[in-house]
């Protein structure tokens, strides 16, 4: 070994034992001595005997590929078959869930070992029309089921042409939703987006505003919220949209009479004149709306977040002169009063245009 490793007394030398073993391949005796499975034990024994000093510097893995088992083909085929069966079972289970008429939440609860639920009043099945089946036990899976190809109808708009009045189309869209949506969900449906939860087969106005961007549609929704034609409500932690009584009245009016309807944001009385406000109150209301719009743009928020039209009308009618008087108006809570109270009073006094 000393000769093969070319060691000299007092010399420190780093040698690759695997390389030494390869070099000794022509000498059977030396090859047996340098067998990687035994050489380290021999070196440790020689070091303990004081014949040399040995210290391992780094370690590499010794990999060996054993001969293939005789049934390797059968094993691989069985593994592939098990994988295919598992994937087919997963597809079958997902399809069963997608086409089920049972409560979605109840089905998921049962799947994870929880209690069943007949109706949650939140999922698409429970909010849809017609009676729903009770929440089922976990569906048995077929042993093999090829994934079926589901052809989706091409999105098409079956309502008014996209060139119609966007305000009326959005109000119609909210009224015809099979279940309530938020701003972004409604925007995707009206824009005809492929990512929309509702497609043309369930929503007649799918793609009715396809000429607008989704952001533009959401901005339109914000304007209708600010004008009191739409309102938001909370359900299961989501902020959803619905028509207000004013929005329903505008939508139910014949289209040829739309020009006679009040302009959004202007309250009118029975005779079509500003309702019990007088011209001065009407001017103040418009100044308040102008201030609200400018403030909303500064903080990049929808105008209705600042104040609703109904609150601005009450402020214009009451003409408050102090924060105490302003706080008595419905909609002016402590947070809104602290954030915007002084600005509103400035508008009321005429300090701002």
Q: What is the CATH number of the domain that holds 211?
A: 1.10.10.10
User: Do 170 and 230 lie in a common domain?
Assistant: yes
- Give the DSSP H or E segment for 73: helix 72-99
* Three-state secondary-structure class, residue 234: strand
User: Do 179 and 111 lie in a common domain?
Assistant: no
> How confident is the model at residue 262, as a pLDDT?
40
311 belongs to a structural domain: yes
What is the Cα–Cα distance from 84 to 147, expressed in whole angstroms?
Answer: 11
291 belongs to a structural domain: yes
User: Do 191 and 244 lie in a common domain?
Assistant: yes
What is the Cα–Cα distance from 135 to 101, expressed in whole angstroms?
Answer: 9
Buried b (16+ CB within 10 A) or exposed e, 186-216: bbbbbbbbeebebbbebbebbbbbeebebee
pLDDT per residue rounded down to tens, the chain (353 residues): 777 777 888 777 777 777 777 776 667 777 777 777 777 788 888 888 888 887 766 666 556 667 788 888 888 888 898 888 888 888 888 888 888 888 888 888 877 777 777 777 788 887 773 333 443 444 444 443 334 443 333 434 443 344 467 888 899 999 999 888 988 889 988 988 888 888 888 888 888 888 788 888 988 898 888 888 899 888 887 889 999 988 888 888 765 444 444 444 444 444 344 444 455 667 888 889 889 888 888 887 777 778 888 888 889 988 998 988 888 888 888 888 889 999 999 999 887 54
97 belongs to a structural domain: yes
User: Do 282 and 317 lie in a common domain?
Assistant: yes
60 belongs to a structural domain: no
User: Do 175 and 240 lie in a common domain?
Assistant: yes
When divided into structural domains, the chain yields a total of: 4
67 belongs to a structural domain: no
User: Do 242 and 172 lie in a common domain?
Assistant: yes
* CATH number of the domain bearing residue 322: 1.10.150.80
pTM: 0.34
227 belongs to a structural domain: yes
142 belongs to a structural domain: no
Structure tokens at 263: 């302009």
53 belongs to a structural domain: no
Domain extent for 250: 166-254
> How confident is the model at residue 160, as a pLDDT?
38
């Amino acid at each position: 070994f000393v000769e093969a490793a070319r060691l000299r007394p007092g010399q420190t030398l780093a040698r690759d034992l695997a390389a030494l073993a390869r070099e000794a391949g022509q000498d059977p005796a030396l090859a047996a001595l340098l067998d990687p499975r035994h050489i380290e034990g021999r070196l440790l024994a020689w070091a303990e005997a004081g014949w040399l000093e040995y210290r391992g510097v780094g370690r590499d893995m010794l990999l060996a590929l054993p001969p293939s088992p005789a049934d390797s083909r059968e094993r691989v085929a069985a593994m592939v078959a098990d994988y295919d069966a598992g994937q087919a079972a997963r597809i079958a289970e997902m399809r069963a869930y997608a086409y089920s008429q049972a409560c979605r939440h109840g089905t998921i609860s049962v799947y994870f070992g929880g209690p069943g639920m007949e109706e949650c009043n939140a999922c698409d099945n429970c909010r849809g029309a017609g009676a729903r089946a009770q929440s089922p036990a976990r569906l048995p899976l077929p042993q093999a089921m090829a994934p079926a190809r589901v052809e989706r109808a091409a999105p098409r708009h079956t309502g008014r042409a996209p060139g119609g009045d966007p305000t009326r189309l959005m109000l119609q869209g909210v009224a015809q939703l099979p279940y309530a949506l938020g701003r972004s969900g409604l925007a995707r449906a009206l824009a005809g987006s492929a990512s929309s939860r509702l497609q043309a087969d369930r929503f007649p106005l799918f793609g009715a505003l396809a000429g607008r961007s989704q952001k533009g549609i959401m901005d339109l929704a914000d304007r209708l919220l600010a004008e009191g034609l739409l309102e938001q409500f909370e359900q299961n932690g989501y902020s959803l949209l619905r028509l207000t009584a004013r929005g329903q009245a505008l939508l139910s009016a014949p289209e040829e009479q739309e020009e006679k309807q009040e302009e959004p944001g202007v309250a009118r009385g029975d005779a079509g004149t500003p309702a019990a406000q007088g011209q001065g109150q009407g001017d103040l209301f418009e100044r308040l709306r102008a201030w609200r719009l400018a403030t909303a743009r500064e903080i990049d928020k929808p105008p209705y977040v600042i104040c609703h039209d109904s609150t601005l009308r009450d402020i214009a009618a009451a003409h408050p002169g102090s924060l105490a008087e302003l706080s008595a108006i419905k909609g002016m809570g402590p947070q809104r009063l602290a954030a915007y109270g002084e600005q509103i009073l400035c508008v009321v006094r005429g300090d701002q245009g």
